[in-house]
Amino acid sequence: MGFESVPSLPLEGLETVDAARRPVPASPGTTTTPGAADRAALRTDSARANGAATASPAPPDLKVVPLPVRRAEPGRDTPAAGRSSIIVLLQQVQEQHGYLPRPEVVRCAGEAGISVAQAYGVASFYNFFKLTPPGQHTIRICQGTACHVQGAQGLLERVQSELGIQPGETTPDGLFSLETVACLGACSMSPAVVIDGEVFGRVTSRQVPRILARYRRRK
């Protein structure tokens, strides 16, 4: 697994409360803020005196109130809230299926209250989400600094050429999936490759066909 920068998401569960719109308590003895009320009245009077069509409202007293996270409701929530909840829904689907089948993406989009295109936009933005079924064997090639200086790029190109796929893709026979990662935690064995959890260290491009053949035999 690698680490990626995640774009800032819209803040969810935050609501602005305009104190100017809150009903003023009517009970006797309730105190108000005379200074603020007087200033607002003065502004209104001043605007009227200047011939303005409408008076400027007093500056709102904004307060941020945290709300509990919940799923978006179609037709009610904002697109931003839907985009946040779609990530959680898609994660659940991928845990169950290993990738995101289209019918499930459509269902999640409906639950999140966003369009299918928006759901696919989120799914394709994050490398974590797989839109195609994973291959029988998953090859992860490290592209971290230690591996890079030891020739990881040439190794990756050799695997790409042997399999005819790019990182993030699966071979047409469904046998291999190819991924790149930032560091496998085996820097002392760089360049490193992991296939189905099995670690190969100090791998050279010449060894690639032999390693792949080993997994082809395990079909």
Residue number with CB closer to ligand FES (143 or 170)? 143
Residues 6+ apart with CB under 8 A from 182: 2, 3, 142, 143, 144
Find the binder of ligand FES among 147, 159, 203, 212 (CB under 6 A): 147
Quick one: which segment of 31-39, 108-116, 119-127, 141-149 binds ligand FES (CB under 6 A)?
141-149
Binding positions for ligand FES, 59-118, rule CB under 6 A: none
- How many residues form the binding site for ligand FES (CB under 6 A)? 12
Query: For residue 53, what are the CA distances in angstroms to 45, 49, 50, 84?
Result: 12, 10, 9, 42
Q: Among candidates 83, 59, 86, 70, which has minimal Cα distance to 15?
A: 70
Residue 141 main-chain phi, psi, to 5 deg: -110, 125
Amino acid at the residue 166: Q
CA dihedral 195, 199, 204, 205 (to 10 degrees): 0
Q: Are the C-beta atoms of residues 112 and 72 closer than 8 Å to each other?
A: yes
Residue number with CB closer to ligand FES (100 or 193)? 193
Find the binder of ligand FES among 112, 142, 155, 212 (CB under 6 A): 142
Output the residue with the shortest Cβ distance to ligand FES: 144
Q: How far is the CB of 204 from ligand FES (least distance, A)?
A: 15
Q: Does 184 bind ligand FES (CB under 6 A)?
A: yes
Q: How far is the CB of 138 from ligand FES (least distance, A)?
A: 16
Binding positions for ligand FES, 187-206, rule CB under 6 A: 187, 190, 192
